[in-house]
Amino acid sequence: MLVRTVILYCIMTVCAVAFHENTYAVWELRELLIERQLNLWELLEQLKYVTEEQRPVVYSDIEHTTQEINSIIDQLLQHDKQQHP
């Protein structure tokens, strides 16, 4: 029992030291990035069947989504530059 506890503490220590300071923030940004990419694909699929009156709205949504994606990528790059100066 004591051996298992010591091994568990060693593993936890290695994992705690190995991760970056911004691990959760990076994970959350990657999650948002995946979500926005899926939204973009759905918007692009909507262009196949949307009416002419609705097209400007879809184009606007696509532009907004691409801006969000670019912003998330910029934040991810900033986190990386902080971790690896």
Read off the tokens for 65.
Answer: 């989504």
pLDDT for residue 12? 62
pTM: 0.72
Please report which confidence band the pLDDT of residue 82 belongs to, taking 50, 70 and 90 as the band edges. confident
Q: How many Cβ atoms from other residues are within 10 Å of residue 29's Cβ? A: 19
pLDDT at 16 over 60: no
Per-residue confidence (pLDDT) for residue 13, from 0 to 100: 61
Q: Tens digits of per-residue pLDDT, 19-77?
A: 556 678 888 999 999 999 999 999 999 999 999 999 999 999 999 999 999 999 999 99
Residues written for the chain: 85
Confidence band of 3 (pLDDT split at 50, 70, 90): low
Question: Residues 1-25: what's their mean pLDDT?
Answer: 62
